[in-house]
Chain A
C-alpha cells in the first residue's frame, strides 16, 4: 500500500505491506535510525515519535495508520544548525549516558513543554513514565527537561535577543 506522511516537515512516501510498523518504515525505508527499537513490546518508549505533536510508540503503530499525518522524530528536533532547548538541556545536565532512550526522552520532554511550559518535577516524571532509562537514571533527565523549560522561558521573555542560550551545547 502507498503511504504518504510528513516527516520532520518534509513529505515522504513509500510502498509498504499493511503489517509494516511505523518504526520500521522510519528506520528501514526512510533511513531515520534515530528512532530506536528497544523492547518491541510497547513498554520501553525507545521508539517514541511525535504524531501530530503527541508522543506515541512507533513500534505499536502501523505505517498505514498514519497515512496523511505529521510525524516528528529525533532528527527533526534541532532548529537548523542550532540545538533545540531540549537538546541543550540533556547536554548541560548530563541527561544521558548510553543514549539509547534519549530520542524518546527528548521527544516526550519537548511535547510536555509544548503543553505545559513550566512543569513541576512530578509532572515531568509522570510524562516520562512510559519511557525507560536503564543507565543514567531519571534524576538528570528530569533536570534536563527543567533546563529546557528555563531556556524556553528566557527565549520567550527576550524575543529581541537572538537566542543567546541556545546557540550551542558547551561553554
Chain B
C-alpha cells in the first residue's frame, strides 16, 4: 500500500531519472520547427512573402491567384495543421517571464495576447486566400476583396504584437533574475516600433509604405527576422541556464565545466 510519503518520494525519484528540462526542449524544438515551416510555406510555397502589390488591378490579382493556385492551397493547408505549434512558442516565452523576478501578470498577459494573435494576424490571411483561390472563375472584384482582406489582416494586425512586445520588454528591463540581457529588452522595443511603422500600409497602395513597400515590409521584415533569430537563441540559452530556482539565473559555465 502506497503511503503519502512513498507517493511524494516517487515523483522526486522519477524526476531525478528524467531530464527535467525535456519539456522545455520540446517546446523550443517545436518553436524552431514552426518557424522553418512558416518560412517555407510563406516564402516558397505560397509566395505570399514578399507580398504582391496592392496597386494591382483585378485582372493582375486574378492572374496571381492562378499562378500560385496549388501553392496557396497546399501551403495554407499545412498551416492549418501546424499552427497549434505557436502555443508552444508562447508557452515558452510566458515561462521565461515566470522565471523572472516580476509578477506572474506579465507572463499571463503575454500568453493571452499572443494566443489570440494567431487568428487575426495569420490564420485570417490563410483562410481568405484559400477562399480566394477556391473558385478561379469567381467575380474578379470578389477575388480582389479576399486578396485585400488577406494581406491587410496579416500585415496590418499590429496591436497584439505591439503591446505583447512592450510587455516582454518591460518584464526584461525590471527583472532582477537576469533571465535575458537588457539589450534584448530594447530589441523588443524595436520590434514593437515595427508595428507602428507598418501602420501606413492601411493607407497607401503604392510606395515605400504600402504593404509590400521597402519600409513597411522589407525593412520591417529585416528587423523582425533579427528579433526572431535572437529570441530563439536566447530561449535556448535560458533553457541551458535554467536551475528551476527563483533567484538570479546563473550564467552559462565556460565550455570546459558544466
- Asked whether A and B interact, the reply is no
